[in-house]
Structure 1
Amino acid sequence: MAQIKTYRRDEEGILHYREAWTDKSSFRTHFGEVGTKGTAKAQTVRGTALYRQDKPTATQYMRMFKEEAHADGYAEITDEDHGWAVLQVWTHTPDFSHPDDARLLPEGEEALNDFVGWYGIGHCDGYDVGGTPPAIHKLDGTVVNYFCKVVDTEISVKVLRIFTRKFGITQKFVIGTREPGENTDYVLAWSPRKRDKGFNLFGA
């Protein structure tokens, strides 16, 4: 599958995405404001069961998409210019025996990757498990960090909070972000407790 993601800021500073990918039978596009679901379209490509001589091939569709996107001011964002957002969930149990904990992995990672993709913000780049929730919360569980590579950290916080509601996360959670750059650190971007200031990947 071939895929390309491009972005553009308009005169008001709003970031837009325009992406395209191919599958076995179609060429698909998805576009909108970053942080929204946007609009998706699909077109049949030449060489499928729905073959039509006048249809472009997937390669031709992709070339036309790139040319049009670049002409409209859209461009790809390099890996170095991506930031990071971490959804940190504190589980109910250390061994994931609670039903809500059990669905966090791998279902949660897959759902999050799909969710942030459709909102145009980036993708989930994996997760880790380990650590201790802050003692003040008196939780016996462990820490799950979902790492998301994102094009805008501020918008990503809003998207991750929407995800927790849509996915039905019952556990306590916080969100940390890290701006692009080699020497940047994670900072606390959202917590249910306003007094919280720091962010630690290991929880405690």
Structure 2
Amino acid sequence: MTEEKPSPEIVYQLKLADPGRHLLDVLCRVDQPDPDGQVFSLPAWIPGSYLIRDYARHVLSVEATTDSGPLGVRKLDKSTWMADPTDGPVVIKSTVYAHDLSVRGAYANHGHTFVNGVCVFFRVHGQDKAPCVVHIDPPERPPMSQWQLATALKRLSGPDLGFGAFSAEDYDALIDRPVLMGPLTVRAFEVDGVAHRLVLVGRVDA
């Protein structure tokens, strides 16, 4: 009996590119892309709210590169793209407009940033069950450089409430765990012996 090899990780990087213009930069690295051309997409829905949301309309640009240089990308439909065939790893870069304050979207400005994964993290077709790693970069300019980060993603590096690397067991888990960044207020409490934390951003009356 042949032992099945584990799927390679899909590695993402999320960065606040231009808070004044509500822009996020997202990288997605695929180490073993489809040899016939890697297809990738954004969902048109979000878990828990099953209406068509068309998140791809907020994607302003998409490009792909390999170790050898730029790689061609073509759009297949309103939410799906395909990178040209290549032998090695592919890095897909996108810029996303994040100006939706609802709990179903993504929002980025100088005050805080909130991200639902469906808005920014591409689904890599054929590798939905691959484990995912997300590197989230802290803003560089003060006071945003003092921001904290809260998410239900499993932490791989960085201090509690800090920026760093996170993981999810697969794509479905990745897009079901939002990320909140900003000047956070945390309230800890227990229910039936189970520890909980309520995380708030913005002005909070004690």
Task: Give me the TM-score of the superposition, normalised by structure 2.
Answer: 0.31
Question: More helix per residue: 1 or 2?
Answer: 1
Question: More strand per residue: 1 or 2?
Answer: 2
- Highest Rg: 1 or 2? 1
Task: Give me the TM-score of the superposition, normalised by structure 1.
Answer: 0.31
